[in-house]
Structure formats: C-alpha cells, structure tokens
C-alpha cells in the first residue's frame, strides 16, 4: 500500500509520531512523510492512503506547520472526492479544546469530499502515555482493518469472476 503521512506540528511531537509511523509501515509499504507546510494540493491523489497527524496549539488552534495547509484548503476548495485518510490527533484532555487542532483539519478534509477511514486516533498528554506508543497501536489496528477490507474486496472480485 502507498501511505503518505501528513503532519502538522508546533513543538515537534507530531513530527516524531510521523517518523515512528514511517518506521512501522515502511517494511511492507511505500511510505513518505510530509510536513503540512510543504503539501501541494495537486499531489493529493486517490492512489495513496493518507495518515494525518496533527497536534493542537494554544486554545484549540492549529499548530504552525498546519496553518498554511488549512489556508490553502480554505482558499482553493479542491475537490477531494476519492481521497481516503485516517486521522490521529495530539492534545491534552485537561483543556476544553482537547484535540481541536486535528478536528479542524478533519472537518476541512471531509467538507471537501475526502473520506475518513477507521477510528479517529487520539493521544491524551494528560494520561502519561507516550504519543508514539498510542499512535503505533492505532496504526497497527488501522492497517489490520485496511488489510481485512482488501481481502474482502479480493474475495468479492473472485466471486464475480466465477459468476461470469
């Protein structure tokens, strides 16, 4: 599978998570990691599966590296139909705006036609766990679900071929 990890970070935690996801997935997949600051909309294609990792900054705001991406999405309003992605947010549940930065990106993507797949992963800084550990567990479950879906699709293709 072709995974593209898009990360938005303020202090580097989301980038560290993205790096660990690359390490986890690269043995069996094509994987690249891109800071949201560097994303060009014409490179978002349906032949990749996107893992979006985004922290929250301040009072529910976007981290600095996610702001340009959000602004381009808002300004250009691209049709993202066919784009599939999974979301992982970093935040602290002791704040009322827990994980709001990632939710802001998620809302933009779905409003433009992209489809979120799987469970919305979240790391809560107040629970004492490491964001990387939480993200690795999340991505393993996500990939297992994607693999199961791919196997089911292949089985349906086999049944359709026999029926012809």
Query: What pLDDT does 155 receive?
Result: 45
Query: What pLDDT does 147 receive?
Result: 80
Task: Report the CATH number at residue 109.
Answer: 3.40.50.360
Query: What pLDDT does 89 receive?
Result: 97
Query: What pLDDT does 154 receive?
Result: 47
Alpha-carbon 30 to chain mean position: 15
Between the alpha carbon of residue 124 and those of residues 132, 135, 141, the distances in Å are 11, 11, 18
Question: What is the rounded distance in angstroms from the CA atom of residue 51 to the CA atom of residue 47?
Answer: 13
Side-chain-side CA neighbours of 70 within 13 Å: the count stands at: 20
104: number of Cβ within 10 Å: 19
Query: What pLDDT does 149 receive?
Result: 67
E strand spans, the chain? 2-8, 30-35, 49-55, 84-91, 115-116, 121-124
pLDDT in tens, the chain (164 residues): 999 999 999 999 999 999 999 999 999 999 999 999 999 999 999 999 999 999 999 889 999 999 999 999 999 999 999 999 999 999 999 999 999 999 999 999 999 999 999 999 999 999 999 999 999 999 999 999 998 766 555 444 444 454 55
Q: Which structural domain, as residue segments, surrounds residue 126?
A: 2-163
Q: How many domains does the chain contain in total?
A: 1
Query: What pLDDT does 133 receive?
Result: 97
């Amino acid at each position: 599978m072709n995974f593209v990890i898009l990360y938005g970070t303020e202090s580097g935690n989301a980038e560290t998570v993205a790096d660990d996801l690359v390490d986890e997935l690269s043995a069996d997949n094509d994987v690249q990691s891109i800071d949201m600051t560097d994303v060009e909309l014409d490179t978002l294609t349906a032949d990749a599966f996107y893992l979006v990792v985004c922290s929250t900054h301040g009072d529910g705001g976007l981290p600095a590296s996610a702001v340009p991406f959000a602004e381009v999405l808002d300004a250009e309003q691209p049709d993202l139909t066919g784009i599939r992605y999974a979301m992982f947010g970093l935040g602290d549940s002791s704040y009322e705006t827990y994980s709001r930065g990632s939710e802001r990106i998620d809302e933009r993507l779905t409003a433009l036609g992209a489809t979120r797949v799987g469970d919305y992963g979240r790391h809560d800084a107040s629970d004492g766990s490491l964001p990387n550990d939480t993200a690795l567990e999340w991505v393993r479950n996500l990939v297992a679900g994607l693999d199961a879906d791919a196997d089911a699709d292949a089985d349906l293709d086999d049944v359709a071929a026999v029926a012809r």
